[in-house]
Structure 1
Amino acid sequence: MKQAYRAIADKAEYVHEEKRSTFTALLHPVRSREEAMATLQAIRLNRPGASHYCWAYVLGDALQPQAAAFNDDGEPSGTAGRPMLNVLMHREAGDCFAVVVRFFGGVKLGAGGLVRAYGAAVSGALDQARWYSVEPLATVRIATAFANEQKVRHFLQVQGADHVQAAYGERVEITARVAEQQCEAMAEALAHLTSGQAKMVVDS
């Protein structure tokens, strides 16, 4: 069974200054690369004229990511995106997209200075962020008689199920997304609720 993981709950921002350069870290909750890239485009439009728009993201659990990527956007290789990603993973920031908007202040920082500045900006933004726990979801299929449909639907609503859909044949089959850790208890409760008529299967 997958474990719950930490993720940021909403946007966060932090400005780090280093030798007249400003490094503004912007954090956004994201669930896909497409969402991250759309967010990057919006940031470029809303904050024009910066020297660099470096970024990194982690999708899913930061300890076992579904995907992770970074980009230095013209900074020397390994001095921006990689340190930003390292901070996200070290701080266990799941489903998180970080962009650091740099305005150059006229003084070169060197490779070590850049690594520290980009890392510090993201770390500072994470300090400002609100966090929550993401519970892994599972898809369940519940087959039952038509007479039990409304009873089962109400039960799923009480359990906080999402994406509830029904297919009709000789019986009704209801699919839903529920917290993975609830599945065993839900199967028992459904059997009791319907006198054993509803059969629940968890899709792998």
Structure 2
Amino acid sequence: MISLPSHQSKQQQSAPGAAAYLAVQTGTQAEIRRVDSHFVAYLDPVKSEAAARQRLAEIAAEHRAAAHHCYAYRLSAAQGRLIERAADAGEPLHSAGRPILQVLQGRKLQDILLTVVRYFGGTKLGIGGLIRAYSDAAKAVVELAQPVSCLPQVELELCYPYELSGTIHRVLGRYQARIVSIDYGERPRLQAQVELARAEALECELLNATSGKVQLKRT
């Protein structure tokens, strides 16, 4: 797996509410040239930091001869939060990762990794030139993508007596919650995903419908 460079930033923001965001379902690639440097940009859907690291490792292996592998990603997290990370990967501080991240922020793209690989041609671009080049590469690959609109989701873990299974499933269905997994142990343990805007009402109805016999937590 690729190790994360030291020039990176991470923010975990408070819950953004139910505002829609954009995501992509398939990867996209674009290339640009600035002076004698060659930039290759990749836009990939990812759902976790582990998935982002795995994709970064694949790109690094494919471009071993490149001078820099810069990136930024924005990921949905627990409780409707948002994780953002950006890395300059050896370029001057904030000259690569930040402009890439700003493109993702400006387009409201989420659950996404944007990587820009640079093959250095010998001519230095300067800080301003690097910022423009990485921003242009990020914009080029985003322009080729076909994003879809999404709403923030949260995951709930439910534990309940077997005799309440029918009630639980009916309530989840009314709120269009997606069942991720069910562990049939001594008591069923169910993981479900629901839109953030509906989560609180769903939790209240589950408690009311089961007379408080369901154990709930957000994961």
TMscore range, shorter length: 0.7 to 0.9
1:49 aligned to 2:65?
yes
Match of 2:192 among 177, 192, 195: 177
The CA deviation at 1:162 is 1.5
Q: Distance in 2 between matches of 1:203 and 1:159?
A: 15
Cα distance, 1:202–1:181 mapped onto 2, change above 3 Å: farther
Q: Distance in 2 between matches of 1:76 and 1:197?
A: 59
Q: Distance in 2 between matches of 1:6 and 1:126?
A: 11
Rg larger for: 1
Structure 1 window deviating more from structure 2 (116-125 vs 17-26): it is 17-26
CA deviations 1:64-97 (Å, max 9, x no partner) are: 8632222222222221112111212222221222
1:81 aligned to 2:97?
yes
CA deviations 1:76-119 (Å, max 9, x no partner) are: 22211121112122222212221111112333222111100100
Secondary structure of the 2:61 match is: helix
The CA deviation at 1:121 is 0.6
**Amino acid corresponding to residue 21 of structure 2 in structure 1:** Y
Name the residue aligned to 2:178: 160
Q: Distance in 1 between matches of 2:115 and 2:72?
A: 7
Is there any run of 5+ residues in structure 2 with no aligned partner, and where? Answer: 1-14
Name the residue aligned to 2:53: 37
Name the residue aligned to 2:6: none
Match of 1:139 among 126, 139, 156: 156
The size of the alignment, in residue pairs, is 195
Q: Distance in 2 between matches of 1:18 and 1:175?
A: 52
Q: Root-mean-square deviation (CA), in Å?
A: 3.3
Cα distance, 1:13–1:202 mapped onto 2, change above 3 Å: same
Name the residue aligned to 1:17: 33
Q: Distance in 2 between matches of 1:185 and 1:97?
A: 31
**Amino acid corresponding to residue 161 of structure 1 in structure 2:** I
